[in-house]
Chain A
Amino acid sequence: MSLSAELHVASRYLVGTRRWTPVVTVTLISLFGLGLGVFALVVTLALLDGFQSGIRSQIVAHASHAEIWPAAGRRIEEPEKLASLLQGALGDVEIVQMVRGTCLVSSDTDAVPASVIGRSDTDRVTVDRILSRRLGVASGDRVEVISARQRLTPMGPLPVRIRTEIARISTPEPGAESGEVVLPIERAQRLLWGERVIEAIELREKADPWTLGQRARKVLDEAGVAVRVAGLEELHRPLLTALALEKIMIFVAVGLMLVVAALNLLCNVAMVAAEKRKDLAVMAGLGFSPSSLRRLFLVLGLSIGLVGSVAGAVLGSGLAFVLDRTGALELPQGVFMVTAVPFSIDPMTVGLVVAVALGLAALAAWLPARMVARREPSEGLRYE
């Protein structure tokens, strides 16, 4: 099959024309509509991606990239062996050992229950802002952490307790309700267990945080270690699902613009079909088969679609790029993590938008084309 005749005629209809014909006008309108739709979709999705990638990089910066728990029970057996196994297989990973529990934290004035977390990567005591407010303490003040575990003393059983100075006040995770104390792991182990128990292991890595969980799971599975491993995706599933859902919803909602543009293209192609009815009949008479006629319209629709959507995509990406670089859209200080509206251009997303636009354009051209191709050639020939 050769497209030679279809392309030739289509190109003459669209660009080779000598006069300002209705075909040219409707073509320009269709182009504009489709380009505008693609433009809007690309800019909107770049804006969304900008905010979302901000959120994702916050997650990567502040949260652990993978976590390991025992498959059964509370303690991880032979944590040192596990750590060296991971370090051997994954190279440059940061490994943090942890214990967790609940204790009573008291200042001079009040006592509040709080989560206690022991971490091997700290030697200071950090209290989050929730707890510091409830207790009325600041960094440099002293608090007492009292465990539910008891120890036999000459005065009878007494709860295990430590007194410590607060080194730092931290910002709680969004949505956190109960206060939190982070201790060096040895002190937490003494409070909660009285022996060197590891309950969980956190992993962090610079190179490829999003797949760390998978790779760690593979290593540990192969070594036959009975643990559960959660990667970034699992650790933040609700948030990430919400982000993905948000993107899909916006795509569909703004994508409706493309549907409207495609309907406009359909009307315009149908108008071309009516306007050029005699020509189409003549071409059929000269041997254009119904399938060639359909292809002619497909070429018309697709070239409008291609030019419109590529122009829209280029302009949209360009605008997003410029706005991102110059930070022209400033945000109120202190409300967001960023100072100007961020844009992020994802080539996959742009490609998808262009593909959807092209698909819709093809569909819009196909429907009138089917109508045209069904007619007998003589029907268009009768009147001059």
Chain B
Amino acid sequence: MSESSSMVRATGLSKGFGAGLTRVEVIQELDLEVATGEMVAVVGPSGVGKSTLLHLIGLLDRPELGRIVLDGVQTDDLEPDARAELRNCDIGFVFQHHHLLEELDALDNVALPVRIAGEKGRVARDRAAGLLDAVGLSDRASHFPDQLSGGEQQRVSVARALAMRPKLLLADEPTGNLDSANAERLFQLVTELHLKAGLTSIIVTHNEEMARRCDRIFRLARRADLSENVRKI
């Protein structure tokens, strides 16, 4: 894979939390490369560090070691404001829990990234209305998050992630809290938008069946488990 065609290139990533006795090493020397246009599923047991990895790639957190290059941009040395701008313009994030802002209705939630980019309220709301339409929620625009079902909330969250027409979509268990019908619907929506918008997507999921429908599966395992497996063999 040539450098120009890779959207994400993470090399030697390490990230742990805490210090001393309470220290946990979550990600150690991890390499991940995702080609432009690719849809990658990240799977692994709970607590293995899937969210942590996605946060690192989404510039929501900084690795302790290693480098992350997004679409050719070396991100580790960037100032916080520059990282924020990348998050705003180039990365769409669907959080593990939808994380919509309670005080804003669906439309304003979707419009928020556009406002953050400095657009006028009208422009932002127009754009948001189009996106809500795309996720099939144009009739719920003025509903607040607590007036929406879990599936609807997650769809609003997907619309918000796509509001700035990002290059990279990061979705952390977007179907996690949904029943299978709704999960299927949301996954189809994401796949559809991925293709339509020419996105590069990384999707964390526990659902093996959905993972198989992605271009590639990236499996995360605990270091301890790995070495155990090796020993058994």
Contacts and interface: CB of A to CB of B under 8 A. Distances in A.
**A, B bound:** yes
Interface of A: 1-2, 4-5, 8-9, 12-13, 16-18, 278-279, 281-292, 376-379, 381, 384
Interface residues of B, number: 35
A12 B103 contact: yes
Interface string B88-101: 11000101010101
Contact of B60 (A12, A13, A18, A376): A376
B89 A287 contact: yes
A292 B87 CA distance: 14
Interface string B103-122: 11000100011011111110
B185 interface: no
10 contacts: A4-B120, A5-B116, A8-B112, A8-B115, A279-B102, A282-B101, A287-B88, A287-B89, A289-B84, A381-B99
A56 B190 CA distance: 78
B60 A4 contact: no
Given A4-B120, A8-B108, A8-B121, A287 B60 contact: no
Contacts of A291: 81
Nearest to A282: B99
A105 B160 CA distance: 98
B118 A290 contact: no
Contacts of A378: 52, 55, 60-61
Contact of A278 (B81, B99, B119, B144): B99
A254 to B, nearest CB: 37
B61 to A, nearest CB: 4
Contact of A287 (B55, B87, B102): B87
A2 B120 CA distance: 9
A16 B85 contact: no
Given A12-B104, A285-B93, 4 more contacts: A9-B101, A283-B116, A286-B113, A381-B99
B58 interface: yes
Contacts of B80: 289-290
B121 A4 contact: yes
Contact of B88 (A2, A12, A278, A286): A286
A17 B146 CA distance: 13
Given A17-B103, A376-B60, A287 B95 contact: no
Contacts of B115: 4-5, 8
B97 A285 contact: no
Contacts of A287: 84-85, 87-89, 113, 116-117, 164
A384 B84 contact: no
Given A17-B103, A286-B113, A290-B80, A1 B118 contact: yes
A11 to B, nearest CB: 10
A13 B113 contact: no
Interface in B116-165: 116-121, 124, 144, 160, 164
A32 B108 CA distance: 30
Contacts of B60: 281, 284-285, 376-378, 381
Contact of B101 (A279, A379, A384): A279
Nearest to A384: B97
B118 to A, nearest CB: 4
B160 A286 contact: yes
B62 interface: yes
Contacts of B116: 5, 283, 286-288, 292
A289 B81 contact: yes
B220 to A, nearest CB: 17
B8 to A, nearest CB: 17
Contact of B112 (A2, A283, A290, A384): A283
B84 A13 contact: no
A4 B88 CA distance: 15
Contacts of A17: 103
B118 A4 contact: yes
A82 B180 CA distance: 105
A286 B87 contact: yes
A286 B58 contact: no
A379 B160 CA distance: 21
A292 B117 CA distance: 11
Contact of A285 (B58, B62, B104, B119): B58
Nearest to A13: B103
Nearest to B62: A376
